[in-house]
Each structure stands twice: as structure tokens, then as C-alpha cells.
Structure 1
Amino acid sequence: MTQPIEVRNPRTGMPDYRFTPPTERELDTLATRLREGQRDWAAADAAHRGQVLQDWAARIEARRDDLAAALEADTGRRRLARLEIDGAIASIRGWASRAAALMPRSDWVEGRANPAIRHAGQYLPYPLVGVISPWNFPLTLSLIDAIPALAAGCAVLVKPSEVTPRFAEPLSATIGEVAGLAGVLALAPGVGETGQGVIARADLVCFTGSVATGRKVAAQAARRLIPAFLELGGKDPLIVTKTAPVEAAVTAALRGSVLSTGQACQSIERIYVAREIHDAFLERLTDEARKVRINWPDIASGEIGPIIFEAQAETIRRQLEDAVKKGAEVLTGGTVERHGGGLWLKPTVLTNVDHSMAIMTEETFGPVLPVMAFETEDEAVALANDTEFGLSAGVFAGTLKEAEVIARRLQTGAVSLNDAALTAVFYEAEKQAFKASGLGPSRMGDAGLTRFLRRKALIANTGAPAPLSAFAEEAGS
């Protein structure tokens, strides 16, 4: 019997929700049910699956208020909670409408060396996909892999984070209201052991989270010889050249760093500015950062919410203390504040930073904006690439061409040109993470669906089979 887990409210700091993770036997039952349901789900055509998904989107829309209330309690923010729901509905409808067109063709093709031998493909979905999602965008990141996997014909078992599990209850209610969906989709909130249990039962695992945990997921998947698609941490740089318009660059930098309290893997976490405009940029950034409001005491006002995960606040504190100790100067913010039991950090602009500081090398996951000057483009590129991460980046320059030239030199999976963190709002461009930021095919673009299909080769001989004598030693003389 597993023990109930109490869940902390990020606005009050107090536990106000409790859930019980599934037992091993319950996970077995779930996995068996999903595998059984997947057989008919995969046998149906993509149009049928698309209609079921469209029905699900309608049920989520109908229960929007219940889901929004749960997400608000999970994350301590209102506007972004509702945007998560809108995004999930749009994602479901988008994949549902695209799935049939994305299913690969399986026409027979004549062989190049011997036209009598033909081949065709059969594309089979992985029967059971396990999804392990993090706490920063609970709904979005539970469904970003699950939806295209379902559209491809897989069954999906989602393990949401124990930090933000409240949304799973109303979301599961919507699943139960759609004929045929509960047989192929289930949520099982739990702790690390639950995640391990999901990996032990899945045919493919999708994980979003830290590099440290991602390595453990990859190791467990490797022992079972199943694929692991990993979306891990980032330390995204923004390069601002001397030709960049300062006001626009500041706007992009602030939003890219502070949105969602910086609790996003694609947040800008270090800013490199050409010496020629460094002082002007830093002054304007500091002025704008001071205007940003926390959403306390009124959740319906302000731009940034609380730090969701209490342990993350300690990481931020440690990095700030290390930076100041090594000579960094805090221009605004800089102190984790407690209001009503919750933890908030106002946008924190730092100067006099360098790569000896953890704030410039380790993932922060908070609204911290360290700004460092550079002299040449080569130096800026070298600084941006001086990291174990390679998730995404940004370049702001006077022209798109100038930004593109620099972007092509960066060792990262995506680069926003004359903006920042565009992967948070634009999902059509396929990308793969570099270095320690991830593993596997793109979850964006068409590959977001096709990666859940395996290709079986059917090879047919339209002529006579070759006899053994054709391979006799004498035959080659």
C-alpha cells in the first residue's frame, strides 16, 4: 500500500491537496488495460482517432473552469493556467486534423539493383508510450507528447509531477467522458518510483525534466532496450549585437527571461551584449525589470507568479549568493520574498558577471537576468557555446541576416532571431536538442507524430527465388 502524498500550494506554502500514488499492482492493471485498448485503437484509421480526439477537445473546453481552478492551485498563476488549457485544446485539434495526412505511405517500390525485388513499409505505432512530465507547465508538458502519440495510434500512460498533480483529476474526468479514449489514455500522478514503474512497463518513454533525472531515465530505458525521448534542461543565451535596437532587444530579453517566473526550459538565462550598447541596454533593462509586478496578493494582477517548487528557490538563492560573493552586482530584485507563505522573486538584473559563477553556467529556472559585455562576435559566440547545454538560444541584431549568420554558429537546437524564446509559442519548426539538453527526434513539427511509428520492411520477390547454386564457389569464377 503506497502512502498518501500531501501537496504544497505555491501561493500559501501550505499543503492543501492529497493524492495516493498507484501501487505496482495498479500500474500493472493500468498498463494491461491500455495495451488491450491500443490494439483496436491502432487498427482504426487516423480519421477515427482524430474524431475521438476532437471530442476530447470539446470536453476539455466544457470543463475549462474546473481544469483552470486546479491549474491555478498547482502553479499559483491564473492567466498562464488558462493559456495552458487553450494551448492543449489547440494542440489536440491540430494533431487530430493533421494525423491522417502525416501517416506515411506504404507503396511498393522496385529495387534499384534488382527490379524484380520490391519493398514496401508497414508503419506500426509503439503499443504503450510512457510520459513523465514536470511541474512547471503541468498540463502542457503532460500532453505535448501524449497527443501526437495518441494520434499515431499508441496508448499513453502519463505520470504527472507530484509537485503539481491537481489538474490530473479534472483532466481524467474529461477522458472518461469520451467514448474510446479511457481505453488508451490514463494519468497516474506519483513520485519517482511511479515514474520508474511507468518506464518498466512502456515500449517507449518521453521524459521532460532535469538533466540529472534524464540520465537516470535514459539508463533505465537502455537496460530495457526501449527508446527514450528526452527534453532536458537549458541555459539559453541571448546575444545582442551593437546594431540591435535597444528597446526591442530589452523587450525580448525581459519577456524571454521572466515569463512564467523564468520557470521554463527555454527561458533566457544569460545575456551577452556588445560593449558599444551595453550600458544603454543595461539601464533600460533595469528600468523595465523594476516595473514588473508579482501577482500577490491578487492572483488576477501582475505579470509573474510564485516559485512553484520550494526546492527551486534554494537553487536560485545559492546561485545569487555565489554570484555576489564573486563580484556580481544586483541592480534590481535579488531576494526571494515570502508573501502569505509563498515564495516570489522579482526580476533580478545582475552585472559584473562571468563564467566562474554558477549563475552563468548552471540552470537557474528563475527570473534572473545576468548581463555580460562582449567585444567581438567571435567572443559572443564562444561565450554562448561555453556550456554543457544546447537547448535553444536567441540573437538580436540590426538585421535578420546579421542575426542568422551568428545563429548558424551556435551549438543549440533552435535559435530565435530578433526575438527570444520563440519555441515557447511556435511549434511548427522541427528541432533537436544539442549536448546535455536532450535526446531523440523532435517533438515539434511533423516529427512530433511520426517518431511514434516504427517502420517494418516488406520485401517481395516477383521473380524466381535464387537457388543455392547461384552462390556456389564456381559461380563466381
Structure 2
Amino acid sequence: MLLRAFDLILERREDLLDLTQLESGKTRGQAFEEVFQALSVTRWNALKARSVLRGGVRRSGIPVALSTRVKYKSKGVVGVVTPWNYAISLAAMDVVPALAAGCAVVQKADDQGALSVLALRRAFIDAGVPEALWAVVAGEPGEVGEALTDEVDYICFTGSTATGRRIAEKAGRRLVGASLELGGKNALIVLDDVDVEQAAADAAHACFSSMGQLCVSIERIYVHRTVAEAFTAALVARLTDPRIGSGLDHEADYGSLASAAQLARITGHLDDALAQGAEVLVGGRPRPDVGPWAFEPTILAGVTPGMRVLDEETFGAIASLQVFDDELEAVFAANDSEYGLNASVLSGSTRHALRVADLLEAGSVNVNEGYRGSFSSVDAPMGGVKSSGLGRRNGREGLLRFADPVTVSVNTRIIPLPHTGREYRTMIPLMALLQRVFRGIRRA
């Protein structure tokens, strides 16, 4: 059934791309990232879920006398709350594994992404998934989202940290599980051995894919002083006179902000930074000639603590650039955030980059890429640390969110277990010896 849904998503991809662009304002290429992710997640769960959920034999406490295995039982009804910015891919990453685990889903889709979600859902319904197993509701988040959290057996939420905390509190009171992907203030470190032109291309995409309206996009750039001048010049050149648009073709390199509210948020962060002494290196202007919410990709220098653009998640169109002299200085600066969702390291040496990556506090770290490496790796878990969330989506970890492990143990009666005091007295020396043997042969 999931493989049939995969085929239909692939067959209908042009319609899905149209809807994604119309609802989000992103370019067609960046819209394809969503469809690609939905395809990958669907294929992975179709081919892997059965083996992951099968369970299997585990080592028993007393070999021969007992046998033990683990099986998985679906949790029941899963509530999924998804935002507008990556409506298709974020829906797929939570809904598809829930269905694969045998759960039913009630999804609260953001009104601005609801058409994309419904089109994705239609592919699964047409592939044979019963309609009642994937219900989609829209409406005010405070009303619908709260109602879901009050009733479901497990809750998945993608959105702001403030809302995520409230959902976690309610789930905790009900003793139901939750996975939360929350805010990010993601850092990119540019080391001293980069090819500056390549690094500038990587940084521009990492910051301004979907105009930065992506939880894992880069908002803070730290560049080594020895390459800072050349890198900054290359980055500014790449972002000067950018091709902005959201036409249903591949002509634009950068899309539009998604709403008036997003434009107001970005301009608020920019005005606050400029009032406190920050400098615009490139961009910084609305582009009403392109569209009502179009805004140029913007890089700021001179950003300091206390500015909203450094302390808060901007979520669109603005990134700050700072220079460092020592790699540990860059690591401390990157980690100096309440968030820990994604990070990136650019270097001419993978080994060099990995040494730095090991020190970063983030749920995913990308080397010589902004976010696409970890985001597209659906066999690997994705999620945040610190205030960026709880739990993981994708891979075994993401699938097993939706199933409770049940341990089943059988007394084989091959070796009688003790019941009386005298029987225990006889058995205890044998059991102690068994423990010593296991320890000696290093058996867990």
C-alpha cells in the first residue's frame, strides 16, 4: 500500500510542486525538496517497517530455563501538528511511519499548508489507506491543537519552542509520549582551509533556501579571519542582485517570504539590529516589484548579544556573519544558544571538519552542506537538543515512536525454577556462579 502511494506521489509531483509553491512562496527547486523527502520517507517505511517492528528474541535472565522476545504494539491514535513552511515533507515524516506502525492519525494542518497536505493524503487514500486512518483538520491552533493533545495516545508537534513546551506539559500530565521538533538558531562554521567560492555558494543556499523559513536553515555564520575577507566578498557577490521569484518554473534562485506576518517579523529583527549598530553587507530591502512579501537575502555584520536577530530565531531572509580567530572560539559561539537543532561546518578537509563537528551541540551536523545531508537521510534520526525539541523522527528511532515494546518471556520448564526457601538455597550458589561466568566471558 505504501509503495502504491509512493508511485502516486511520483506520478503527481508536478501538481504537488504547484501547490507547495502557491502556499509557501518557495522556488520550484526548493519545493521539490519536499516532494523528494515525502518519496524517501514513504519508500523507507514501505521497505523497512516490517523488519523493524517484527521484534525478536532477546537474551533471557536464565538461559535454557527462560526464553524472552520483544514484540511491538501500535500506540493507537497519533496526533500530528504540522506548520506551513514544509507542509508536505513534515507531514510525511510523522504520518507515514505512524501508519506503518499500525496507528491511526489525526493531523492538524496549518491553514496555509492544508491544500498541500490534502493532496499528499489523497495519494495514500487512492493507494488504499482507509480515509478514517488519516484525518486532517484545520482551524485555530490554540483550539484544534489543544484538543488533539487532550485526546490522542501520542503527539507529534513541529513549531515554536514556546508552544512545544505547553504541549510537552500536557502530554506529561496525561503520561503520553511526545516528539517535538522546535526552534533553531543554527550555526555554520567556515574554517580556514575552504575554497571560498564553493563555501559562499554553500552558505548562501544553507541560509536562504525557502528564504530561511526552515527550522534547520543557517542563521549564524562564523568565518575564520584568514579567509573572512575573501569569503565575505564572494558571499556578497553571490547575493547581490539575486534572482527572486516564486513562479511555477525554475527561473528563480530564491523564493518569497510566505506571508505579511513573516515580512513583519523579518523587518522587525532587521530594524532592531540596525538601531543597535549592525551593518547590512548585502540585501536588507523588501522587493514589492517581485511580490508583496518578497525580501532580499540579507547578511548582517556587527551583530552583538541583545539584538533580536542574534538571540531569537528569525526564521527567514536574514543571517549574521561574525569573524573568529580560533576554532574553539567559533565552537563556543556556535554552542552559545538555547537551541541545538542543526549545525554545519565548511572545510577543505573532511577530517578537519569532523573534528570541529564533534564539538557542536546539535541534533544534526552537516559537513560541507547546510542541512540537506542530514535532512534527506531518512534512515537516520533527526531532531534537536536543548530547547530545540524532544525525540527523533526518521529511521528506526522515528518509527519506534509509534509502538510500545512488549516483552514476552516463557518458562520452558527445562530447568525448574525455585519456589520454596529450600529450593532457593540450592539454586542461589548456581545462579551466583552463572553470573561470575557471564562476567568472565563478558556476556551481557
TM over 0.5: yes
Question: Which secondary structure does the structure 1 equivalent of 2:232 belong to?
Answer: helix
Question: 1:221 maps to what in 2?
Answer: 171
CA distance in 2, matches of 1:297, 1:395: 32
* Residue in structure 2 matching 1:427, options 366, 373, 378: 378
1:205 deviation in Å? 0.8
Are 2:369 and 1:416 aligned? no
**Contact conserved, 1:73 with 1:166, CA < 8 A, in 2?**
no
Question: 2:150 maps to what in 1?
Answer: 200
CA distance in 2, matches of 1:416, 1:263: 18
* Residue in structure 2 matching 1:302, options 229, 241, 252: 252
Q: Do the aligned partners of residues 456 and 365 (structure 1) sit closer, same or farther apart at CA in structure 2, a change above 3 Å counting?
A: same
1:386 deviation in Å? 0.6
Question: 1:148 maps to what in 2?
Answer: 97
Question: 2:326 maps to what in 1?
Answer: 376
* Residue in structure 2 matching 1:233, options 176, 179, 183: 183
Question: 2:140 maps to what in 1?
Answer: 191
**Contact conserved, 2:65 with 2:417, CA < 8 A, in 1?**
no
CA distance in 1, matches of 2:276, 2:125: 55
**Contact conserved, 2:245 with 2:290, CA < 8 A, in 1?**
no
Question: 2:437 maps to what in 1?
Answer: none
Match for 1:56: what amino acid?
Answer: A
1:410 deviation in Å? 0.9
**Contact conserved, 1:76 with 1:299, CA < 8 A, in 2?**
no
CA distance in 2, matches of 1:397, 1:86: 27
Question: Which secondary structure does the structure 1 equivalent of 2:85 belong to?
Answer: coil
Q: Do the aligned partners of residues 267 and 243 (structure 1) sit closer, same or farther apart at CA in structure 2, a change above 3 Å counting?
A: same
* Residue in structure 1 matching 2:130, options 181, 188, 196: 181
* Residue in structure 2 matching 1:466, options 418, 431, 438: 418
Mapping for residues 329-368 of structure 1, pairs under 5 Å: 329-339=279-289, 342-368=292-318
When structure 1 is superposed on structure 2, of 451-460 and 299-308 the one drifting more is 299-308
**Contact conserved, 2:70 with 2:406, CA < 8 A, in 1?**
yes
**Contact conserved, 2:73 with 2:405, CA < 8 A, in 1?**
yes
Question: Which secondary structure does the structure 1 equivalent of 2:361 belong to?
Answer: coil
CA distance in 1, matches of 2:24, 2:390: 27
1:420 deviation in Å? 1.7
Question: 1:14 maps to what in 2?
Answer: none
Same amino acid, percent of matched pairs:
34
Q: Do the aligned partners of residues 454 and 161 (structure 1) sit closer, same or farther apart at CA in structure 2, a change above 3 Å counting?
A: same
1:96 deviation in Å? 0.5
CA distance in 1, matches of 2:128, 2:381: 32
When structure 1 is superposed on structure 2, of 337-346 and 219-228 the one drifting more is 337-346
- Structural RMSD (CA): 2.6
Question: Which secondary structure does the structure 2 equivalent of 1:110 belong to?
Answer: coil
- The superposition leaves residues 105-143 of structure 1 with CA deviations (integer Å, 9 ceiling, x where unpaired) of 32264324x641332212111111111101101111111
Question: 2:441 maps to what in 1?
Answer: none
Question: 1:452 maps to what in 2?
Answer: 402
1:78 deviation in Å? 5.1
Are 2:31 and 1:81 aligned? yes
Mapping for residues 31-430 of structure 1, pairs under 5 Å: 52-77=1-26, 79=28, 80-107=30-57, 109-112=59-62, 115-192=64-141, 193-295=143-245, 301-339=251-289, 342-421=292-371, 422-430=373-381
CA distance in 2, matches of 1:302, 1:432: 30
When structure 1 is superposed on structure 2, of 84-93 and 263-272 the one drifting more is 84-93
Q: Do the aligned partners of residues 340 and 82 (structure 1) sit closer, same or farther apart at CA in structure 2, a change above 3 Å counting?
A: same
Match for 1:243: what amino acid?
Answer: D
Question: 2:433 maps to what in 1?
Answer: none
**Contact conserved, 1:293 with 1:346, CA < 8 A, in 2?**
no
TM-score (structure 2 length as normaliser): 0.88
**Contact conserved, 2:27 with 2:252, CA < 8 A, in 1?**
no
Question: Which secondary structure does the structure 2 equivalent of 1:335 belong to?
Answer: coil
**Contact conserved, 2:38 with 2:92, CA < 8 A, in 1?**
yes
Q: Do the aligned partners of residues 55 and 115 (structure 1) sit closer, same or farther apart at CA in structure 2, a change above 3 Å counting?
A: same
CA distance in 2, matches of 1:125, 1:298: 41
CA distance in 2, matches of 1:221, 1:57: 32
CA distance in 2, matches of 1:211, 1:217: 10
CA distance in 1, matches of 2:58, 2:375: 40
Q: Do the aligned partners of residues 168 and 451 (structure 1) sit closer, same or farther apart at CA in structure 2, a change above 3 Å counting?
A: closer
- The superposition leaves residues 53-86 of structure 1 with CA deviations (integer Å, 9 ceiling, x where unpaired) of 1222233344444444332321124513344234
CA distance in 2, matches of 1:424, 1:286: 26
Question: 1:7 maps to what in 2?
Answer: none
Match for 2:298: what amino acid?
Answer: T
TM-score (structure 1 length as normaliser): 0.82
Match for 1:136: what amino acid?
Answer: N
Aligned residues: 424
Question: 1:33 maps to what in 2?
Answer: none
Match for 1:466: what amino acid?
Answer: P
**Contact conserved, 1:266 with 1:423, CA < 8 A, in 2?**
no
When structure 1 is superposed on structure 2, of 224-233 and 192-201 the one drifting more is 192-201
Question: Which secondary structure does the structure 2 equivalent of 1:123 belong to?
Answer: strand
CA distance in 2, matches of 1:470, 1:444: 52
